[in-house]
Amino acid sequence: MDQFENSPEFWNPRRRGPVCYNPQAARTVLPITLIRTKLALAAKSKAEMNEGMRAAIEKGELPALEPGAMAYMLSKRGFLNSKCGNCAPYLMFYVPVKDAKTWGAGALGTEVPVLLTPHFNGAPEPVTEFIVPVAEWSDGTPADAH
């Protein structure tokens, strides 16, 4: 969470990211989001939220990440941040904490970039989240036409 939590967007009330999880992610990644949400709604500070997540992990309150966990964000109606609005449609892949380079994240010159998201990657959740932009929104319109 470190990089993202220092962003002014962390508490932006306009943020909404309609996400669809596959069954593996619904069982193992969604619980992370639910614990984070519970901590945020309890008015915890960012540091307290991190500590609460660490405590949940230590108590075994989160299931182990299942292989094949993925999600997608393809709705034009999202608002991810003030800089880009909804940014772009993309797929998200969840793996145990990895060095981003093992998946080619951040590699220059690739036709379809693999990006590392800042809000997982072992800070403190034991998950790395990669995103891969896709060419179309859920309604079939080109991403660059948004």
pLDDT digits (tens, 9 = 90+) for 71-109: 999 988 887 777 777 788 999 999 988 766 677 776 666
Q: How confident is the model at residue 2 (pLDDT cuts 50, 70, 90)?
A: very low
Residue 51's alpha-carbon distances to 35, 65, 113, in angstroms, are: 12, 20, 32
Q: How confident is the model at residue 5 (pLDDT cuts 50, 70, 90)?
A: low
Mean pLDDT of 42-59: 91
Percentage with pLDDT > 70 across the chain: 84
Q: How confident is the model at residue 112 (pLDDT cuts 50, 70, 90)?
A: low
CB atoms within 10 A of CB 137: 19
- DSSP letter, residue 70: E
pLDDT value for 70: 96
Placement of tokens 């639910």 in the chain: 34
Cβ-contact 83, 104 below 8 angstroms:
no
Of 33, 141, 15, the closest CA to residue 83 belongs to: 15
Of 87, 63, 60, 57, the closest CA to residue 75 belongs to: 87
Three-state secondary structure of 72-122: EECCCCCECECCCECCCCEEEEEEECCCHHHHCCCCCCCCCCCEECCCCCC
